[in-house]
Amino acid sequence: MQLTTRAGQTTSRLPHVEAPAGRVSTGHGDLTPQLVDTDVWSDDLLARAGIPVVDVPFVTVGGGIGSFVLADYLRVMGVPAESIRVLSNLDRPWQTYEHLTRVSQIPGPERIRSDSQSMPDNLWGFPSYAMREAVAERSLKPVWNVLSEPVLSNYYTPRVSQVFRGMQREHDRIGFGDMLVKGTVRMVRRRHGGGYFTILTPPAGTTATKRVAYRSRFVHLAVGYAGLKFLPDLQRYRSDTGDHHRVVNAYEGHEHVYREVAARPCTVVIRGSGIVASRVLQRLIDDRDRLGTDVRIVHLFRTYVAGAHGRSIFMRRPGGHGWAHQGFNYPKSAWGGQLKARMRRLEGEKRADLYEQIGGTQTPIRKNWQEQLRRGRKAGWYQAISGEAQLVRAHGNRLSMTLTPKPSGGSGGPDRFAIGGNPVEVGCDFVIDCTGLEADIAEHRVIGDLLGHSGAGRNPVNRLDVERTFEVRGTRTDGSRLYASGAATLGGYFPGVDTFLGLQIAAQEIADDLARQGFCKRLGPVRSIRQWWRWVGGRRP
């Protein structure tokens, strides 16, 4: 059977899958209670529900950078575009990332936390971002930065706008738009006889049916984070009051905070100590310097770092004034050195323990941030507090927070603002939660359904359990595989999954596994060189 898409294209039949048993309705097919409650579906169940079926060998769910990178690998390894379908509600793969960088105060000209060769648009890593920037700006400074890091220079990181331009070029080159099918994925279920059914809800008015089932031999999930996670006291306040104006998450649109800070004297409480907290602080201080705003910043550290720290001498990180510092999300050996090799050998609690050793919130050392905070500590308009917030409540037109301070481990000097003792009340106008995107994976509808109906389980750090090949453990059917990559798989055999290079490594592992099963060609030296030249020339794979 074939189904015509909005673009007028027809999908090809999956060779090893039989046609649906029974007559398929062309009416408004929808999920039935029987389908929702059944773990393994037959073709007949879909036919009786009136849900049309599209046959395609490979489906990737999410449509973000994780889907984009794997689709890029598969196209380079010889898979035609018509054999891949990307099911997504996004218009372009970097759409979510672009939104998150913008609202977390990383606009196009600013630099992100990624190295020179971690390029979603170039699986070879050459020419690197630094070389591209050097050519574009006719300057050797970016190249020198890479050659001298981290001894003489801080790590080189690319500008956001450069990353997006590169992905746009590769998006067009591999025909990503031809593979994209817009809609919201509801669930992925195993199929009797092998393969999977992926249920898509198309945009209203685009098809004659409410649901469409994509029947495939292989499925890949790259759905990103399950959602925003607020700290408990902030979540309670928002739930009780409905106030989303004064208590905000840094990953939400919160430009109104900066507008009000520019209009009147304000006190802003910052929660968190990672890269996003750094960027929010920089925005507040930049506005103070540029616009003369009268802002007082109270920075609450749950864990206050007063100096170098870490359990092992080989895993110690610099720190001070509350911050733990690290150039990238993980040590560089996590992507291709001893740490990566060690993690692949560990199981269970031993693996979870190593994640705990190398994990923890940190931010890179940037000279301009250091200088801004030094000025703030000296002048008194930036105050760091070590402790935990127990209660947030409205107090007239402002907020009041009850804090339980704890000793900072500081040694005087600028750390005198880190207090310890009895609970204190802090009044403020706004609270910005910069603690991250860490909601439970089951809160994502597709993953929650997978855990409940498709045999998937959790790994030692409570994320999605995957094999070394990124196959989701427990979901295999006859001759078929279901893979996952990205943030949902943190805690597996490979750390650093939620990074550009991590997504590339996961894509390489998945593509190599698919090549072993005969789905695509192996990327040997001759093919790699030939495909790189095609990439240089902007020609289709």
Q: Do residues 237 and 223 both lie within one domain?
A: no
CA distance 321 to 377: 10
- DSSP letter for 80, please: -
| Residue type at position 118 | S
Higher pLDDT, 228 or 484: 484
pLDDT at 503: 95
Is residue 171, in this structure, part of any structural domain at all? no
pTM: 0.88
CA distance 413 to 418: 10
pLDDT tens per residue, range 80-98: 999 999 999 999 999 999 9
CA distance 201 to 185: 6
pLDDT tens per residue, range 120-159: 999 999 999 999 999 999 999 999 999 998 888 888 999 9
pLDDT at 94: 96
Q: Do residues 242 and 198 both lie within one domain?
A: no
User: From start to end of 192-233, where are the E strands?
Assistant: 196-201, 212-216, 218-221
Q: Do residues 288 and 374 both lie within one domain?
A: yes
Q: Do residues 428 and 443 both lie within one domain?
A: no
pLDDT tens per residue, range 386-443: 888 888 889 888 999 888 877 654 433 344 444 456 788 889 999 999 987 667 899 8
CA distance 295 to 361: 26
**If you average pLDDT over residues 319-333, what whole number do you get?**
80
* CATH number for position 397: 3.50.50.60
Is residue 413, in this structure, part of any structural domain at all? yes
pLDDT > 50? residue 15: no
Q: Do residues 444 and 528 both lie within one domain?
A: yes
Which whole-number Å values give the CA distances from 529 to 376, 414, 526, 532, 541, in the listed order? 53, 55, 5, 5, 12
Tokens, residue 366: 């940037």
pLDDT tens per residue, range 242-295: 999 999 999 889 999 999 999 999 999 999 888 899 999 999 999 999 999 999
Terminal C-alpha separation, the chain: 29
Residue holding tokens 């649901």? 211
pLDDT at 437: 67
Reference 389, options 228, 234, 230, 281; nearest CA is 234
pLDDT > 60? residue 108: yes
**If you average pLDDT over residues 184-188, what whole number do you get?**
97
pLDDT > 70? residue 11: no
Q: Do residues 265 and 382 both lie within one domain?
A: yes
pLDDT at 329: 74
Higher pLDDT, 389 or 173: 173
Which domain covers residue 517, as residue numbers? 1-88+181-227+439-541
Q: Do residues 301 and 415 both lie within one domain?
A: yes
Percent of the chain whose pLDDT exceeds 90: 62
**If you average pLDDT over residues 177-204, what whole number do you get?**
96
CA distance 327 to 34: 51
